[in-house]
Amino acid sequence: MFSIIWRTIKDRKISLISYSLGAAAFLEMYVALFPLFAGKQKEFEKLLNLYPEQLFQALGMDKASFNLARIESFIATEHFSLIWPIMAIIMMIAFGGAQIAGEIEKGTIETILAQPISRLKVFLSKYLAGLANLFVFVVVSVFAIAPFSAIHNVDYKIENFIKMAILGFLFGLAIFSFSMLASSVFSEKGKSNLVVGGTIILMYVINTISTFKESLKNLRYLSFFYYYDFSAAMNKNTIDGLAIWVFLGVSITATILGAVWFMRRDVGV
């Protein structure tokens, strides 16, 4: 199993390094910009008051805890609201899609399945490689705050970033698990990525609409973006227990379904 895990990680190393360093570079940019914004809270409050409340809700931002004097609030708004989740989503969808569907499409899956290793172990090896990938991405892209804040002489609360890393990992895990399920079902990487990407976009739309329309309010529970409360993690150092259960529940369910499907399906038709 280890050799498949290691080979999978090695094959994706360029992608992992690019995404991790890319996300870290964004973080560095925001930390470098932070001193320019800090201390201008009152001017920004005036500006923010011009925008409707729903807009903040739709973007998952807590206006009350928006405080430009604190790096956590600034980074949450600028980085973890959109850029970071987009990078995590793209990276994990691409990783998942390439693992089973991508290998079937290229025909390389036969090389692995001709070896004395069960399909379950093949699936789990690829899954564990994905987890390792996600872990490295989260650690590098979130905890890069430590060196960057030291360079720019900015104070930060490590516990809030730890919470953000946990939330980000769970969010990425749910997307990756869903992607592995789709990858097990389809025989083409493009189809797998399309289905997962389309579902994620739909979730984003559902979450946004549910904040504008009271009658559709309950639809938000169907969206990962409702549970991905970066604002609470970064500003209040909290993660909703329901979010943990939902992300873990989706991950476990999708992983079991994906593994069972892969074991039962025809490969190389």
Partner 1 sequence: MTNIIEVVNLKKYFSYFGIKGRDFVKAVDGISLEVKKGEVYGFLGPNGAGKTTTIRCIMDFIHPTSGSIKVLGKDAHKDSVFLKKKIGYLPGNVRLYDKWTGQEHIDFVESLRGKSKFVEDLKERFNFDPGKKFKTYSSGNKQKLGLILTLMHEPELIIMDEPTLGLDPLLQNEIYEIFDELQKKGHTVFVSSHNLPEVERICNRVGIIKEGKIVGIEKVGELGEKRLRKVTVRFDVKFKKADFEFDGVEKIEEISDGLILTVRGDINPIVKKLASYKLHDLEISHATLEDVFLEFYKGKNNV
Binding region for partner 1 (CB under 8 A): 2-4, 7, 11, 106-108, 110-111, 113-118, 264, 266-269
Instruction: Give me the count of residues in the chain.
Output: 269
* Nearer to partner 1 (CB atom), residue 4 or residue 234: 4
* Nearer to partner 1 (CB atom), residue 249 or residue 268: 268
- Closest distance to partner 1 from the beta carbon of 118 (Å): 5
Spatial neighbors of 135 by CB under 8 A, at least 6 apart, are 169
- Closest distance to partner 1 from the beta carbon of 121 (Å): 9
* Nearer to partner 1 (CB atom), residue 38 or residue 267: 267
Give the CA diameter of the chain.
Answer: 66
- Closest distance to partner 1 from the beta carbon of 188 (Å): 15
DSSP state, residue 153: T
Q: Which two structure tokens, joined as six digits, stand for 169?
A: 């990992």
- Closest distance to partner 1 from the beta carbon of 190 (Å): 18
DSSP state, residue 221: G
In 10 A of CB 222, how many CB atoms? 12
Q: Which residues of 155-187 are buried (b: 16+ CB within 10 A; e: fewer)?
A: ebeeebbebbbbbbbbbbbbbbbbbbbbbbbbb
* Nearer to partner 1 (CB atom), residue 45 or residue 110: 110
- Closest distance to partner 1 from the beta carbon of 8 (Å): 11
* Nearer to partner 1 (CB atom), residue 112 or residue 136: 112
